[in-house]
Structure 1
């Protein structure tokens, strides 16, 4: 085969990481459910945490749904609606840029706090330090892909290559050749992102899947003021 490494990287590696994500998550929730939590360091330092956490979480949620739309809405659909490629990318960069900047500033604030604040640093586990560093690198790669690699490669359209490859992953027949001419920063973003997915169940990130559904269905708690005697 002409590209054995590329074949393994874009055919087997994604399934290895996604398999780790799905099976690791099931095992974590089934057998280690009490550990599905994120230790709060708010008691050690609150002001910077609130700024970074709000920016990061709002930004990353917007970026996540932007990725979902960009990958799973085929170009043919937007073409059929009369949305030109230029209009689509202007909207994607505009909306994605806002959420991307929020996520970037937020993760940099959290990363700086985690390493710079001595109390927070010494209370952090190795996993805490690794995951905040990994998220910082991944978000930096994503922003660099959109605002550096994209403009430097005007002929590249991720919707006709990378997005199709991702959709093919879920149909279990990915064509690795679609990734051969993808700019390097995009490739690094994908590889590093898959690595984070693979490590997801074994880190504090897994708490993102532990939604507190019980608060929706529980009875209202009634607070009564103690009468003055």
Structure 2
């Protein structure tokens, strides 16, 4: 392992990425609370968004849960719980593959919608383009890693819990062990680097909304929209008796109103 890979990729980059993630979220909260949003484009187009958005979000949620279980929970705990390696491999690969397919199909729908639907395309900023590229790369690399090493990499696939998981935990224990990454397959290394770079830019994109929890969503009041200028109604008036003003007649009281049948 070269010095660059040893110290920069597996020691410096993780700390820099998580530092930018934490400080960036704090800075964004202090300076741009009104911009802390996903900037929904549902009003531009709803037909494609109706199926692609749930697929992507639920897929990413399950993928994140799988990453948490694989990286944070030590192998010794699952072994002590009596879960054989083969059973754990099936538990990780089958749901993980389904979650990955959901994520990729949902993201493909979102990208297609953003490119093809003109109103959504015009609302896309350069920041959005960077965000989508940085999001797409680790997802595709993760899918490639799953296919090449887990689905078709032998009976048990590549046991990342012997290398990547201990390295990941060592970062948060402030005792990094970059030597664990020496023999990790290249596709996993690329996936990790792309994921860390995504975390680094996370607070500065619309992805910041993921950090929010919609605790008060069910109890918040409705948002009321009112037009600035009155507009003529397009609904035909109903037949009935309409009051006719008698202002200026001089000989009728305020309650004397002549009624005429409306057209």
Q: TM-score scaled to structure 1, two decimals?
A: 0.90
Cα distance in 2 for residues equivalent to 1:213 and 1:82: 37
Q: Which residue of 2 aligns with 1:165?
A: 167
Structure 1 residues 215 and 156, CA, compared in 2 at 3 Å: closer, same or farther? closer
Cα distance in 1 for residues equivalent to 2:27 and 2:134: 23
The structure 2 residue matched to 1:197, chosen from 185, 199, 213, is 199
Q: Which residue of 2 aligns with 1:41?
A: 41
Task: Say which is worse superposed, 129-138 or 152-161, in terms of deviation.
Answer: 152-161
Cα distance in 1 for residues equivalent to 2:140 and 2:181: 21
CA contact (8 A) 2:21 2:203 kept: yes
Q: Please tell me the root mean square deviation across aligned C-alpha atoms, in Å.
A: 1.8
What's the CA shift for 1:132?
A: 1.8
Q: How many residues align?
A: 219
Larger Rg: 2
Q: Which residue of 2 aligns with 1:188?
A: 190
Cα distance in 2 for residues equivalent to 1:220 and 1:130: 35
Q: Which residue of 2 aligns with 1:31?
A: 31
What's the CA shift for 1:219?
A: 7.6
Cα distance in 2 for residues equivalent to 1:187 and 1:30: 34
Cα distance in 2 for residues equivalent to 1:111 and 1:187: 26
Structure 1 residues 219 and 51, CA, compared in 2 at 3 Å: closer, same or farther? closer
What's the CA shift for 1:173?
A: 1.1
Higher helix content, 1 or 2: 1
Gaps of 5+ in 2: 223-263
Q: TM-score scaled to structure 2, two decimals?
A: 0.78
Using CA pairs under 8 Å that are at least 6 residues apart, name the structure with larger relative contact order, 1 or 2: 1
